[in-house]
Amino acid sequence: MMELIKELPEVFEEFAQQRKNSFLALKEIKDQGTPVVGAYCTYFPREIAMAMGAVTVGLCSTSDETIPDAEKDLPKNLCPLIKSSYGFAVTDKCPFFYFSDVVVGETTCDGKKKMYEYMADFKRVFLMELPNTQNPTALELWKSEIIRFKEYLEQEFNTTITETSVRDAIRTENRARLALKKLYAVMRHDPAPIKGHDLWKVLYGSGFKFDRNRIPDEVDALTAKIEKEYAEGKMEEKKPRILITGCPIGGAPEKVIRAIEDNGGIVVTFENCSGAKSVDKLVDEDNPDVYDALARRYLDIGCSVMTPNPNRLELLGRLIEEYKVDGVVEMTLQACHTYNVETLAIRRFVNEKMGLPYIHIETDYSQADIGQLNTRLTAFLEML
């Protein structure tokens, strides 16, 4: 269990450094003969890989460092997340990618589908056919894809994945999700107990903890410490409470969080992939069909690739009410067509249904627009 005597800033920084610290840890895991399965997306059903004893890891995709290398093969006007993913892969600059025995992709968008096709030239890739709607037919397809993934791992790694081991993995992941939900729930306090960027460090860093059984105790200890200090009067100043929604926000796009909190706001909740969206719903442990349970949980994720996409609006509305949000900032990446097109629906929902101010920020992985971000977000916060 995490030492409660540590100061909160030190704990937050430990989570922030978790990704870098995991490079060596993954090499040790690999040297022990443990399989490593890499993935990029929240739709990845990690419980299947965990059930065969594999370690799962999120792959590098949040820096502009390797985008020039990617643009030798890919169009310049492609989403930076895709170019970053491919660039780190093709240059072998991502240790997580290097140590992965197989990379699991998903057909979330056209750009990623073609990227995985090229990636398969130099890495073992398993592509899951993700339906782009959420109905009974789509559910059956997604369930069959999860079973196909299970069978693929059994064949490639000469192992057997039992229903019991899948259920054990589901319980482990559900406990981790519950702990993270309790952590970000501390931001319901008004004023907020901590900065949103510190919360983000934990949410993002927890994805790089390979022993998933350790997450609940560590995160619960952190939650208890935050609540204790809040009860003692340690909290942030009262500021406009912001919800961030849109594209994945780890790495380079964290500049949006900083721009909000450096200019008078505080981010109290994240709807994005590594925020509430990834842990909000649990897998039903009582469902007698374990693969149906997994399929339902993952297919219900409210990503903009889904048409229609009511689950995203349901989660947004719930977060706005529970966290007493004053304004919504939507961050999208250039050339991310599904999220950029869906900004109209989100603006209408926030303005008309929830009665709140909304601003859309479109950006990329460079730092060139930081001045503009500061100007626009300062004006937005002053309006609140």
pLDDT of residue 337: 96
> Residue 6 has what pLDDT?
75
**Is pLDDT above 90 for 268?**
yes
pLDDT single digits (tens) 147-157? 999 999 999 99
Kindly report, residue by residue over 6-24, the tens digit of the pLDDT: 788 888 888 888 888 888 8
pLDDT in tens, 80-127: 999 999 999 999 999 999 999 999 999 999 999 999 999 999 999 999
The stretch 118-143 carries a mean pLDDT of: 98
Mean pLDDT of 368-375: 97
Q: What pLDDT, on the 0 to 100 scale, is given for residue 12?
A: 86
Taking the CA atoms of residue 264, residue 238, residue 194 and residue 171 in that order, the dihedral angle to the nearest 10 degrees is -110
Please report the pLDDT score of residue 227 as a whole number: 98
Residue-averaged pLDDT of the chain: 95
Between β-strands 327-333 and 358-363, what pairing exists: parallel, antiparallel or unpaired? parallel
Q: State pTM to two decimals.
A: 0.96
Higher pLDDT, 19 or 325: 325
Ranges of beta strands (E only) in 31-146 are 36-39, 55-58, 102-106, 125-128
Could you read off the pLDDT of 224-239 as tens digits, one per residue? 999 999 999 999 999 9
Provide mean pLDDT across the span 201-212. Answer: 91
Please give the Cα distance from 261 to 61 (Å, whole number).
Answer: 24
Write phi, then psi, for 241 (nearest 5 degrees): -95, 120
Conformation bin of residue 355: beta by default, left when phi > 0, alpha when psi is -120 to 50: left
Q: What's the confidence (pLDDT) of residue 4?
A: 45
